Structure 1
Amino acid sequence: MVGIQELRRPALFAVQTLAVAACYFAAGRLGLVRQLVVQGAVVTPIWPPTGVAVACLLIFGLRSLLGITLGVLFVIMSITTLQPAVLGTLAGNTAAPVCAYLMLRRVGFRTDLSRLRDGVALVFLGALASMLISATAGAGLLVLLDKLDASRFWPVWLAWWVGDAMGVLIVTPLLLLLHTARLPPRVARWKEASGLALIACGLVPLATYSGLSLLFLVYPLLILAALRFQLAGSILCALLASTAATIAATDQNGPFERLSHMEVMFKLQAFNGSMALTALLLSAVITEQRNTRRSVEKACQDLVEVLEHLTAGDSPRSPPPRDAEGLRHQQ
């Protein structure tokens, strides 16, 4: 039995490593489908692999590090030939998620995102702060290799940073949600979710492809999704809106028509970032308030039960029967 257990552990680790690497590589190929040209450099508005890496670290721990490293290597090899200079990008794209994981673990991050502090931590520590590493390593490597002029460093760095951060803000909450997902028991919730999905499928394309710049129409839908379904509704709505906006921006359609590459990048990233921030923080606030209300209701119920028991214990005893009382007097 001991021998079988010892054999299972390396096999399980190998399967998990390959699964993480495959998910990272698939997310990377998906992210490369839509690209923007910023100052002569090709960047992705949303880089999903960073979200996959942070989610895997939060779920499986540091034992998923090897799979993340292999995934980064596979993505790089699918784009360019393996060179010594690639090690800088490999190190940056691996170190950034690890840094995000360590900082989130340091502040007591909960993967259910049921508190406002968890949403704030994921935004500022997991996305904005940690992805400075990958953006600096990637854009700095381009400058060192003379593939990018030093005067164009900051626009490319900004686009790289925002793209990596968007991957964490959108993909990581979605994967954490799927990890702990439970089907709603009531049929009415399914009907409501289907109706909301139909509205989203009609409203989001209208907002992202209309030349009238109607992107603001997505926000009421996002708020409604957060109010009714918390993180599940808000993050799926944000994912749909961000994906549609990215497709429209890369094709320069709708509100992104007749804009320069830099204007497209700034407008798209501002919209995607505000959508992700609204989805995360609003759903965290609503979930925290609901959990607080349930705790208060539970405490009130417990208090009522305690008071009922105390009242029952202090009630006067019932008088003894008359026959027994008369017999006692006679004695």
Structure 2
Amino acid sequence: MLRIPVIFSQHKSIWKTFINCLGITIVALGYYGLAEICRHLASTPQDVTPVWFPDGFASAAILLFGDRLLLGVLIGSFLANIWAFLKTDTTFHLLQSIAQVTMIAIGTTTGIGLGSYLLRRAIGRESPLRNFRNVSQFFWLTGLMGTMVNATAGVTALCLGGTIAWSVYPSVWLTWWVSNVTGIFVLTPTLLSWSEITSYKLIYFYRKTKLLHFLEALVMLVIVLTISQTAFVGIYPIEYLIIPCLVWVTFRFGHFAATNLILLIAIIAIVGTLNGSGSFARVNINESLLLLQSFIVATVSFTLILSGTINEQRRNSNHLKKSQIELLQKSQLLTKSNQELTQAKQLAEAANRSKSYFLTNMSHELRTPLNAIIGVTQLLQDDESASPQQKEDLQIICNAGFHLLSLIEDILDISKIEAGKMEIQPLDCQFLQLLHGVSESFRVSAQKKGIDLVCEFTPDLPQIIHTDAKRLRQILFNLLGNALKFTDKGTVTFAVSKMTNQELISDLESSDHINVITCSSHSISPTPEVVYVLFAIADTAVGIDSEKLNKIFLPFEQAGENKFKSQGTGLGLAISQKIAKFLGGEISVTSELGLGSCFNLRLPFEVVDPIDYGEIDHDTHQYLLSKNSAQVLNSQHGFDSKLAQQYPLQILLAEDNLVNQKVASRLFQRLGYIVDIANNGLEVIEMLRSRTYDLVFMDIQMPVMDGLEATAKILEEWDFAMRPRIIAMTANAMPSDREHCLAAGMDDFLSKPIKIETLIAAIKRSQVRLLS
């Protein structure tokens, strides 16, 4: 098995050697044959050949097949010159002539090899006729520089052998060199153009070329031959009329036709001039040859440069067309891709709308039973006949209901954040009252767990700030709730302080907080005073592993102990961080296992009513906070059975759900009101026509006529002074729902489940508007 590759390799090597030997033989015989033809057909009585075609043949062979054929050039040159310079009268003269011819052959081979080598180094494997640059490189390197070596070696050999005198060295060198240059300029391009013709191109040319094209080529050939015959054999000097014809042929038929036509013209010109006829015939043969060679070189140079330029322009034009086609195809693909992206975007938007619709609908459906649960629980808690154990159980039910409500809010919030629909609604708010309201909300939970809840509010905090109080309260509730949930013993500290400039600079340098502030959607006017406040919530819980710290702000991530992971969705911190960034700040955390964690919330606030902090005493500030928080708590808890006496109102309730009707009626009864009930919007209109009402609590989703349609009808039928105040009371709790209700003309908005505190507040706001 191993012998087969070896035998195959040997056969391949033998075949390659045979091909090389065959090529060398062909080049040697071709060189020698062309030399004999030039001597017999195109030679002067002084044995001067005006065009040395053998060098043109050799240059073409080396450019096409490589340096391995240079041995053929050496042999061919030796054979071409041995018979011209061989002297056999004495042995010395024989050896001298052989050495002389050998030197000429070596010079010829070196010149042709050098010219081909320099050209390939300059243009690579490209065709010398491909473009203007390649043509010019061919002229300089192969046509001019290589032939200088050939002429120098040949004439030097003749002088050393005594064939010519050293005194005529310049003139003989020039004749030799121009002869070689002319031969390469005329024959090499012709052979190179023939090498580019393949059977495929011939078939393609035959199929695509029309009859008129053939006739045009034939007419041009006849015209050029006629002009050449007249100029070089006749007596009329019209040889330069050939140039426009060559230009036409080059444009119409390319460099293949042009180079072959030049070869025919050169042969006619050489024969005619050597016979003493034509425009270049002079008494002095050297003058005749110089004129003839100059014409041939100029014609060839002009034609080949023009051909190279045309080829380059056509190639660029084809490349441009190809690029335009590719660009068009890519444009079509891009258009198709854009269409697909548009369709995908539409599908994504449709899916997002479906998700939003689903979440909104689910929120509505979940809030409806929650409204009954929480409402009845509030009623039972206010029942004086209930035992302490029953009230405790009712509190558990109420807490579970509000916990479920918070989970619904979290899911809606994260959905809005992902959809980019989170909205910040900054308003003026009492900052200290907000802080104490938040802290007091957790004191009962802290007492039940036996944990100290320490609140530290510095005296330099602003009194009134411009921010979204609802969202700020949501963040603080989440951070404090987590701290209390994960702390079994010890202390939870809620510290709020105004950041100094040094602290702010240090904080901005150590984090990307500065980018968050400057890029926030919550724009802060440069005119009012802006303060940066640090909220620090520290606990003595188990702490968080450092590997999990970078994950706690991701949705659905819970880094605490397993026993707490079922007590939430894992959305609280993710939502809080997003809201913090919307407000212009951020949340950071530091934690150590076994010692606890500290969450830092940094926010910028616009101060609405700056005060002189230096005039406030620390103790007085603490006392005022406690007093305010107590007043807030006292006003926010429990039913006020005398509310109807303070705010006497005729109330109509529009609600289609029977359970919600009963719950709402009992809530209003505890406040001292007897309400009428309408099952849909149409009944609302009919009852308003028959009786006067001060307030209408309007549900949105109702049969026959919904709340928005009913509101529009009321605004159309009654003017502002005569119509009742309309308060939306709906399970549609999205911010957009509130906007739609207010935009429809409603005066206020309450979302279910209804808290007794918010209901009382809405009644009071309506009474104020009625009196105004």
Q: 1:3 to 1:203 in 2, by over 3 A?
A: same
1:237-316 counterparts in 2 under 5 A?
237-315=261-339
2:276 match: secondary structure: coil
- Counterpart residue identity of residue 140, structure 2: F
2:47 match: secondary structure: strand
Structure 2 CA distance, aligned partners of 1:244 and 1:30? 15
1:122-141 counterparts in 2 under 5 A?
122-141=138-157
- Counterpart residue identity of residue 328, structure 2: V
1:272 match: secondary structure: helix
- TM normalised by structure 1 equals 0.90
Q: 1:23 to 1:260 in 2, by over 3 A?
A: same
Deviation at 1:18, TM superposition (A): 1.0
Structure 2 CA distance, aligned partners of 1:111 and 1:209? 35
Contact preservation (8 Å) 1:97, 1:131: yes
Match of 2:233 among 202, 205, 209: 209
Match of 1:83 among 98, 102, 105: 98
Structure 2 CA distance, aligned partners of 1:148 and 1:213? 36
Deviation at 1:286, TM superposition (A): 0.6
For residues 17-64 of structure 1, what are the alpha-carbon distances to aligned partners after superposition, in whole Å with 9 as ceiling and x for unaligned?
A: 111111111221222221236xxx532111111111111111111110
Match of 2:115 among 81, 89, 100: 100
Greater mean alpha carbon deviation, residues 289-298 or residues 187-196 = 187-196
Structure 2 CA distance, aligned partners of 1:15 and 1:137? 28
Task: Choose between structure 1 and 2: higher helix proportion.
Answer: 1
**Aligned-pair RMSD on alpha carbons?**
2.4
In structure 1, what is the equivalent of residue 209 of structure 2? 187
Structure 2 CA distance, aligned partners of 1:51 and 1:160? 14
Contact preservation (8 Å) 2:55, 2:184: yes
- Counterpart residue identity of residue 142, structure 1: L
Structure 1 CA distance, aligned partners of 2:224 and 2:99? 46
In structure 2, what is the equivalent of residue 177 of structure 1? 193
Match of 2:21 among 14, 38, 46: 14
For residues 106-163 of structure 1, what are the alpha-carbon distances to aligned partners after superposition, in whole Å with 9 as ceiling and x for unaligned?
A: 1024225211111001111101111011111222222233332333222221111011
Structure 2 CA distance, aligned partners of 1:172 and 1:83? 29
Deviation at 1:3, TM superposition (A): 3.3
Greater mean alpha carbon deviation, residues 308-317 or residues 115-124 = 308-317
Q: Which structure has the higher relative contact order (CA within 8 Å, separation 6+)?
A: 1
1:83 match: secondary structure: helix
For residues 137-192 of structure 1, what are the alpha-carbon distances to aligned partners after superposition, in whole Å with 9 as ceiling and x for unaligned?
A: 22222223333233322222111101101111111111111112132232324333
In structure 2, what is the equivalent of residue 326 of structure 1? none
- Counterpart residue identity of residue 290, structure 1: R
Match of 1:163 among 174, 179, 184: 179
- Counterpart residue identity of residue 34, structure 2: A
- Counterpart residue identity of residue 203, structure 1: I
Structure 1 CA distance, aligned partners of 2:77 and 2:281? 34
For residues 79-107 of structure 1, what are the alpha-carbon distances to aligned partners after superposition, in whole Å with 9 as ceiling and x for unaligned?
A: 23252222221111111100111111110
Q: How many residues align?
A: 322
Task: Choose between structure 1 and 2: higher strand proportion.
Answer: 2
In structure 2, what is the equivalent of residue 46 of structure 1? 51
- TM normalised by structure 2 equals 0.40
* Identity rate, percent: 24
- Counterpart residue identity of residue 48, structure 2: V
Greater mean alpha carbon deviation, residues 121-130 or residues 252-261 = 252-261
Structure 1 CA distance, aligned partners of 2:326 and 2:16? 46
Deviation at 1:258, TM superposition (A): 4.3
Structure 2 CA distance, aligned partners of 1:158 and 1:296? 46
Query: Structure 1 runs of 4+ off > 4 angstroms?
Result: 316-320
In structure 2, what is the equivalent of residue 324 of structure 1? none
Greater mean alpha carbon deviation, residues 120-129 or residues 189-198 = 189-198
In structure 1, what is the equivalent of residue 89 of structure 2? none
**Bigger Cα Rg:** 2
Structure 1 CA distance, aligned partners of 2:244 and 2:55? 28
Contact preservation (8 Å) 2:225, 2:265: no
Structure 2 CA distance, aligned partners of 1:53 and 1:117? 22
- Structure 2 runs not aligned, ≥5 long: 1-7, 87-96, 348-356, 362-772
- Counterpart residue identity of residue 320, structure 2: V
1:26 aligned to 2:33? yes
Contact preservation (8 Å) 2:190, 2:260: yes
Structure 2 CA distance, aligned partners of 1:7 and 1:258? 56
1:109-148 counterparts in 2 under 5 A?
109=124, 110-111=126-127, 113-148=129-164
- Structure 1 runs not aligned, ≥5 long: 321-328
1:295 match: secondary structure: helix
Contact preservation (8 Å) 1:162, 1:269: yes
Greater mean alpha carbon deviation, residues 104-113 or residues 60-69 = 104-113
